[in-house]
Amino acid sequence: MSPSPALPDSSRAPIDLYHRALRGLVQALAWLAGAGLMVMMLVTSADVILRKLGLSLTGAYDIVKIAATITVAAALPYTTATKGHVAIEFLFHKLGRRGRIVVDALMRSAGMALFGLLAWGCLDYGNSLRAKGEVSMTLELPIFWLPYVLTVSCLLVVLIKLYHLTHPGKPMIKP
């Protein structure tokens, strides 16, 4: 990323460090999402094979459910950073340049507000699960931490949308 001509190099350094750290965290979560997908595939395959042999994998449902939650939560920031979400642009392209800029800014701001509220709701839900001592059905693993993973993911989406708002037209990460 080239430094902005309006800011000297010394004042750009913290911003560049912040952007690199954000990209690194998003990419680490993308790898975690891939690992979660592999866990789901391996556990499901092992359970199917074992059932054919008259055995079963205890807790397969719990493991797949937890891995699916982690996979979706960890993939969300990467998908947002690469602008990989489905978009309906038919009406958007009918607008002029100024109209597109205004609509884009409004939608990104609304997305930031939505994901901020989702983060707050997930945090609240995780706290309530922890207070109740909720566990998974079969393996009885504590599950309060899963909404916390979603909280982090939603907060990252807010930061990524802020990046996109301040860097229009540029994906944060190239897919």
- Give the model's pLDDT for residue 1: 45
pLDDT number for residue 9:
61
| Interatomic CA distance for residues 16 and 103, integer angstroms | 27
Amino acid at 52: K
**For every one of its 175 residues, what pLDDT tens digit does the chain have, with 9 covering 90 and above?**
444 555 556 667 888 888 899 999 999 999 999 999 999 999 999 999 999 999 989 999 999 999 999 999 999 999 999 987 776 677 777 888 888 888 888 989 999 999 999 999 999 999 999 999 999 999 999 999 999 999 999 999 999 999 999 888 777 888 7
pTM: 0.85
Q: What are phi and psi of 133, to 5 degrees?
A: 75, 35
Domain limits, the chain: 9-166
Q: How far apart (Å, rounded) are the C-alpha atoms in residues 117 and 114?
A: 5
Q: Please give the backbone phi and psi of residue 113, each rounded to the nearest 5 degrees, phi first.
A: -65, -45
Beta-bridge partners for 135: 142
Q: Which two tokens stand for residue 168?
A: 């229009």
